[in-house]
Structure 1
Amino acid sequence: MSVDPGWYVDPADPETRRYWDGEGWLGAPIPVDATPPDGPPPPEPPPVPVAPATPATSPSVTTTPGWPPHPGSPPHAGPPPHPAPPPPHPGYGSQPTPGAGGWGPQAGPPGWPPQGTPPGWTPTGGPPAWGPQGPPPGWAPGWPGRPPEPRPHGFRLAGYGRRLVARLIDFSLVFALNALVNGWFVWRWLDELAPYWREAFRRASEGNTSSEGMPPISEQAGLLQIVILVIATALWLAYEVPAMAGNGQTIGKRVMRIRAVPIAADQPLGFGRALRRWSTLGMPTLLWYCFGLGLLLQLVDSLSPLFDHPLRRALHDRRAQTVVVEVPATTGPPATDDHPQPSGDTP
């Protein structure tokens, strides 16, 4: 993969930093602790070509600019001699680049003539720590180390700890609602089961493992259990879906400063998306009476963000195409890392 242009530590001299233009090093090095400019370094001025020198043959012949006058010839009032061309910059014409025939000189900036090699010079390889490879040294195919964390719509992803605490707060509030609305049905259900469990505990204390003569569990107890689960599911739906449809936040999410947003755009979820999101986690409540099957499904859904990378989506997020992000503490546009300052590490 290509390396983005920018200022990086020179692998040949860790005490300096140079500009990488995507294909090669560009410009003069600067100290590693100096603040690099925003863009590439300014190009070096092109050298002035030197006119060929011709020796003077007679006193009447004028001297060539840049050459001393011939002995005995009058001084010539001509243009000032051309300055000598500056020597090639250490950053141009000396860095090796891979090629079909080995290492060759690297081209200089625009306007510079091609840099040749001294007579008899044979390419023997690059500077220390360089190998015959396209990217800068130390780079391998793929992203070096851990890739950056995605930021949907410019917001940071919510951590699992925040999401768990927010869900526990919401469960506590839904449980309080059930205590008010569902309390009488729960008391009736426990009253129907009491004779059976009292006899079971008495026999267990006596060491009696026989099940003969146990009080039967009435059909009304099974009906009450279904009613309790339906009411609990309805209370959870009424608590969560309208709040999530509006701004993607329940009370627990407000406290923990997180919210759910669609992956496609930063906008409200809407009732349909909020219902799909809740139903994946909330509807299994009706299956609690099936040997705890519903509770097992909800546990798997609650743990699924730990295994989803890189967006940390739960199963209900995947179904509704949502992602949970942190809400900034201050108002204003979210901060983005469009132009991060390069660190002192080698690219």
Structure 2
Amino acid sequence: MSDRGTPDGSASESPAPGYYPDPSIPGYIRYWDGRAWVPGSSRRAPQEGGVLSQPTPPAGPVWTLPLQGPFTSVERGERAAPVVRRFAARAVDALLKSVIVAGASEPLWLAVLRHVRQRIDDAAAAGQSTTVWLIDGTTGVLGAAVVAVALVTGFLYEALPTARWGRTPGKWLFALAVVDVETMTPPGFRRATRRYLTRFLLNVLLIGFLTSSLWPVADYPRRQGWHDKAAHTWVVRRSATPLDWKPLRTRLRRLIGPVRRWYESWARRPERTRTAEAAAKAEESRGSKTRLDLVGLSDRPETAAAVGSIEAVLERVFRTLGPPPEGLSHDKEPVVHGGGGNAQ
């Protein structure tokens, strides 16, 4: 069989009309009319010697397989996801959504707790035996607001990624994907929304765990929960396509470049301060050392001998000159020149 799945091994010719293994349901067969699968013709594979009747032609348009044969998805190894792997992925998604919802609705449930505590304190202060209902008008409105926050958060976390990529963070972690049962592609916005809302309603009715985690155990070979049946989706085991990180790394560098430079400047500020302080201390040390050397010159023997000789020479000079002459004064009298009156 070729890569297009033609029985005769030719990739250029389409398979002859007939029943072939259903690419979306192991153990089932579906009718191929020579160009496309016939909708509604999927059925369980017959026993040895069984005869199958030709299906009636569809009245509307049929799904075509561009550039693919009827066995392409089977050759890719797409099979129903194991229940244990699906349960683990669901647990991861539930944990992440719970954290997000708890953080987003914190003011609401804190207000509920304060209101209930206030009613209990009022009843205790009254000194009478009374019944305090935990659900009243205030707590009911706040509880509905918490449910609305959980609904919106789950839609953004689960429905939109499923519509676009067919997987949530939990399914990506465990190599699972949600696909359309006919096209084997991501289900799209409408079916992803229907799938999420159905499961959310089942969770509100407290049967979501049964229908989404335990029901696929008995639903063989499709392994579909009620929400998958309502949305016509199928959870398969499929690894994610490797991402091209080069453009992402370039954008991240451009984004965090200014932040990194600011952080490096801020982080190196103490180091620059320590360097400046060390330079100032070294300069001060050099200045004080010079002053100490100048002061300490008088303690040296050669300095004392030079000073003594200078004093002896000066003493001999003053004795030779003798005392200053008498009548020498530095006072000046003004001299008046005839009529001008100018003082000098």
Structure 1 length-normalised TM: 0.44
Between structure 1 and structure 2, the one with the greater Rg is: 2
Flag the structure with higher helix content: 2
Structure 2 length-normalised TM: 0.44
